Amino acid sequence: MMSERVRAVLGVWMPLVLGLLIIGTAVNFYVNSTLVGGFLEPDLEPWRLVCSAGAFVLGAIMILSTYGRFKKAREARMEEELRAAPPKS
């Protein structure tokens, strides 16, 4: 029973938490970063948007893929319980 809980935490909830953390970091970076360009690139505003959007998309993909695995595992578990249940007479 403990291994099921550990597997649920490591397989489902931690990737969801990490995805949300990545999204939060991306939003925080976009809102709070003050970028001053150097000699070759005076304006770094487009790079700020690209980096933030990339991290946001990475977090979203991580959350969506983990949620899909969670739904698939839940459906398989429910199907297995239906097969194991005795028939009603």
Q: What is the pLDDT of residue 82?
A: 84
Residues whose CB falls within 8 Å of the CB of residue 15, separated by 6 or more in sequence, listed in order: 62, 63, 65, 66
Contact between 60 and 24 under an 8 Å Cβ cutoff? The reply is no
Q: Which two tokens stand for residue 77?
A: 């578990």
pLDDT, tens digit (0-9, with 9 covering 90-100), for 6-64: 777 777 788 888 889 999 998 898 888 877 766 776 777 888 888 889 999 998 998 88
Between residues 29 and 5, the one the model is more confident about: 29
Q: What is the pLDDT of residue 9?
A: 75
For the whole model, what pTM was predicted? 0.68
Q: What is the pLDDT of residue 89?
A: 62
